[in-house]
Amino acid sequence: MRQDSKVQGGRAKFGVAASITGARPERRSLGEWIHGEMVWFDKFLKRWLVRIMVLGTHLAIAITAFYFAVWGMARGKVYDNIADIPSRECGLVLGTVPKTDGRSNQFFKARMLAAANLYKEQKVRYLIVSGDNSRNGYDEPSEMKAALIALGVPATKIYCDYAGFRTLDSVIRARKVFGQKEFTIISQKYHNERAIYIAHRNGLSECVAFNATDATGAIMWKQYARETIARVMAVLDVEFLKTEPKMLGEPVYIGEKSPPVDANPLPLR
């Protein structure tokens, strides 16, 4: 009997142990479940917020560094006063169109006026108008040339670059296609600084820029926001990606012995 009782007791104890180790956990109430989920989500959120904040901080530092790298490279090479800017054989007018969304484009007018004034003051002898001509009905170089002629610049002094799809294309093509090592870039200041950066990082250290007047109104805030992104892309293109122009082509010679072949631009719209 004692032996049986021991066995039975052993079984009883074994059964209790089994019930303890193998039993299903007690069901939590809805409130406990919600609390547990909230605790897990709070830890998850904090962990990812820290990662996002670290990534965002590094990104902000990189963007700021890229922005001021462009600005620093352009110091002393960008001019507001036409009397101060050194003379160059050729001016490079960066592309834009006379109208955007049916409205007059302030940037276009200011750039054309700045380019015409540089020519009249004999700060440049020739002008390259560089822009996009990749779509039907969209021809920045011809529009710019027509505007410059209307401002008194002879057609024989204006050369069209129809493959200036980006600022990088325009600057590098001025060297590799049009044969210019020292030239004056003409656009608004924010744009000129980026163009000078691209020029100098591509071995064109004698290039300078003349600032056309900025537009007025809210459009400038949009341009500044766009310029921040454009400067990041410029640094990536020049320093890391080693980007080349989309196309180059046959050399174009500038001078009295090689007048432009497109001396009859489209009528100004």
CB-CB neighbours of 207 under 10 Å? 24
Just give the CATH number of 72-241.
Answer: 3.40.50.620
* Cα angle 35-37-39, degrees, rounded to a multiple of 5: 70
Give the pLDDT score at 46.
85
> Is the separation of the CB atoms in 124 and 91 below 8 Å?
yes
Q: The pTM is what?
A: 0.81
For residue 112, CA distances in Å to 40, 148, 210, 257 come to 62, 6, 12, 25
Give the pLDDT score at 113.
99
The secondary structure element, H or E, covering residue 221 is helix 219-235
> Is the separation of the CB atoms in 123 and 82 below 8 Å?
yes
Give the pLDDT score at 68.
94
Give the pLDDT score at 23.
56
Give the pLDDT score at 22.
55
Give the pLDDT score at 269.
46
Domain ranges in the chain are: 72-241
Single-letter amino acid, residue 211: N
pLDDT in tens, the chain (269 residues): 444 444 444 444 444 444 455 556 567 787 778 878 888 888 888 888 888 998 999 999 999 999 999 999 999 999 999 999 999 999 999 999 999 888 999 999 999 999 999 999 999 999 999 999 988 889 999 999 999 999 999 999 999 999 999 999 999 999 999 999 999 999 999 999 999 999 999 999 999 999 999 999 888 999 999 999 999 999 999 999 999 999 999 999 999 989 898 644 444 44
Sign of the CA dihedral 162, 175, 254, 193? positive
Give the pLDDT score at 268.
45
